[in-house]
Amino acid sequence: MAALVIFKKYGDITTIHFLQLLDTIIENFIVARIDETIVGFLWFSTEYPTDMLVHTEIIEDIDNCIYCEQIAVKKEFQGKHIGKELYRFLNNNYEGKGIIVFVNTAPEGNKASLSFHTSIGFKIVGEFYRKDFCGFSDYKANLLKLEEM
């Protein structure tokens, strides 16, 4: 499933209109727009990658979860609930499933991402570690889970 998410600004209120599902080359990709400008996206998989499981210490069940590969919102649009609405759209389209994402803690922690995710209800349910991961040495990340919004 891929989706187009349109954000339209009415005064100080941002109203979300989910206009249509799109077939794209990249499956499972949600795009957020304000008018004609792309302001964010969320890329997801229907399960946690099996090759990463051996490197993940899990403290809570993640079997019935959608895995967020990546979420990003343009800097000038951060703080306007766009990331939250991308997750809400995903949550509404996969009712009964949790959403999991990992947020790196080392070598350089992503405090802004951890703060954002915990503020909308994500909880730490595991830790990922690899000596060498995507060009980083001693890579660590918290695995976070959202049950519902």
CA distance 3 to 41: 10
Q: Report the candidate in 64, 76, 72, 136 with the shortest Cα–Cα distance to residue 104.
A: 136
pLDDT of residue 47: 84
Cis preceding linkage at 49, omega within 30: no
pTM (2 decimals)? 0.80
For the chain, report the end-to-end CA distance as a whole number of angstroms. 20
| Mean pLDDT, range 106-124, rounded to an integer | 93
Q: Report the candidate in 39, 30, 31 with the shortest Cα–Cα distance to residue 9.
A: 39
Question: Phi/psi of residue 93, each to 5°?
Answer: -90, -10
Domains of the chain: 3-146 (3.40.630.30)
| % of the chain at pLDDT higher than 70 | 83
